[in-house]
Structure 1
Amino acid sequence: MTQTDPILTVAGLSKTFILHLREGARLPVVAGAGFELHAGECVALGGPSGAGKSSLLKMVYGNYRVDAGTIQVRDGDETVDVATADPRRLIRLRGQTMGYVSQFLRVIPRVGALDVVAEPLIGDGVAREEATARAGALLARLNLPERLWQLPPATFSGGEQQRVNIARGLIAHRPLLLMDEPTASLDAANRAVVVELIEEKKRAGVGILGIFHDAEVREAVCDRVIDVTEFARAA
């Protein structure tokens, strides 16, 4: 295995939801999905709402199990198939290789924003003082007022919560980063900051797979777009 190998290889991926409240009706999502993602590139999943973009992203992260296919993630000198990995291996993969920025912030109540953002660094072994300093610097860059840093993000506006979410997802180095509409609730100034942060991640060799409904952001950061509708049509 070399550094030129893909960080992510998806092959033959298929998923159907079973609607148990609808007498077991089957809802095909994707079939035969396949693509590669390399270090240092940003790839967007494109297509209309309902085409399966978020489902694909959740399958890559291991939140959704798959019916068929493989999701190979390069983890150091080995490759892990997310589709078949046991829970402990998946947790370890997320802890050191694969990051995720979802649309919505899910955190422990009553924990301040600064600690929420610093936690991934502390989990990596960074001293708390350094971790909180770096968290503060990133929150400042994302224009979150310092008076909010000690407050729990559950009390914040949608845009403020999204900035905390982005900071938490980007603060630690993860070779593979998944992003689900990271700028959906942001104003133009903060979207520009996120574009800068994504470009910095790319220069650091991070492979990014994301959903970017904002056309300006997508055109600014993405190297190519994968049309998910071709996978949906095959389902």
Structure 2
Amino acid sequence: MSEPILQASGLSKTFVLHLREGARLPVVSGASFELHAGECVALGGPSGAGKSSLLKMVYGNYRVDAGAIRVRDGDEQVDVARAAPRRLIRLRAHTMGYVSQFLRVIPRVSALDVVADPLLGDGVAPEEALPRARALLGRLNLPERLWPLPPATFSGGEQQRVNIARGLIAHRPLLLMDEPTASLDAANRQVVVELIGEKKRAGVAILGIFHDSEVREAVCDRVIDVTTFGQAA
């Protein structure tokens, strides 16, 4: 088997509740797992088990108390847990994508430009990036009349489709997904299942939270039970 794209080893995280006299809330302890090209792995467990926290640790939004998070970036292994901010920004720009539950973008930027932006950041010319963005928004059934509008006023499902399109339009070897179909109807959930399948066939490694059991069974190769990490915390 090829070298993993993601290796997490010995991860531990505790939140300190400063408004509760410094009370400590353990989240995970000794979390270890790896992810290879072309596979989709789900973080499983009940609400509060630490799934979102683990995903945020891998992306670098949460620092860890102990352990390492190694992401393969070309010929280099980058430890997200210890990477300098500039190195982490570069890793996110070219190697590690993220589809969150909620769309956070610059106000007054059109949905079309929001989706095309990752391609433009990769150096793709606008005359190629914009048609690709239109095609992906069309595939996700976002009405064309919305494309020139800022997505801040869209419905939750419309915003999520913009978010998915933005996260999937450019190639990233590692993709993190936090409940990507939570606000979608059955037809659009199926489109996302197809898009994830295409990413897997292109060799992308996907780590995600999929509460929808049908979606999870359709796209995931295995499930990591996060509660086993919480038991040690």
Do these two structures clear the TM 0.5 threshold for a shared fold by scoring above it? Answer: yes
Q: Determine the C-alpha separation between the residues in 1 that align with 2:121 and 2:20.
A: 42
Match status 1:172 vs 2:175: no
Question: Match of 1:48, SS?
Answer: coil
Pick from 9, 12, 20: which aligns with 1:11? 9
Aligned residues: 233
Aligned-residue offset at 1:128:
1.1
Question: Match of 1:103, SS?
Answer: coil
Question: Match of 2:104, SS?
Answer: coil
Equivalent AA in structure 2 for residue 153 of structure 1: P
Moved over 6 A (4+): none
Q: Determine the C-alpha separation between the residues in 1 that align with 2:199 and 2:34.
A: 18
Q: Determine the C-alpha separation between the residues in 1 that align with 2:184 and 2:46.
A: 21
Q: Determine the C-alpha separation between the residues in 2 that align with 1:139 and 1:44.
A: 25
Match status 1:229 vs 2:214: no
Match of residue 213 from structure 2: 215
Match status 1:132 vs 2:156: no
Q: Cα deviations across residues 146-185 of structure 1 (Å, max 9, x unaligned)? A: 1000000001000000000000000000000000000000
Aligned-residue offset at 1:84:
0.2
Question: Match of 2:101, SS?
Answer: coil
Pick from 52, 69, 72: which aligns with 1:71? 69
Match of residue 200 from structure 1: 198
Unaligned residue ranges in structure 1 (runs of 5+): none
Percent identical residues: 86
Task: Report matched runs for 1:184-195 at 5 Å.
Answer: 184-195=182-193
Question: Match of 1:89, SS?
Answer: helix
Q: Cα deviations across residues 122-156 of structure 1 (Å, max 9, x unaligned)? A: 00000012111100000000000110000000010
Q: Determine the C-alpha separation between the residues in 1 that align with 2:143 and 2:157.
A: 12
Match of residue 43 from structure 2: 45
Task: Report matched runs for 1:9-158 at 5 Å.
Answer: 9-158=7-156
Aligned-residue offset at 1:230:
0.4
Aligned-residue offset at 1:75:
0.3
Question: Match of 2:15, SS?
Answer: strand
Unaligned residue ranges in structure 2 (runs of 5+): none
Q: Determine the C-alpha separation between the residues in 2 that align with 1:163 and 1:131.
A: 18
Question: Match of 2:231, SS?
Answer: helix
Q: Cα deviations across residues 21-54 of structure 1 (Å, max 9, x unaligned)? A: 1111000000000001000000000000000000
Equivalent AA in structure 2 for residue 163 of structure 1: R
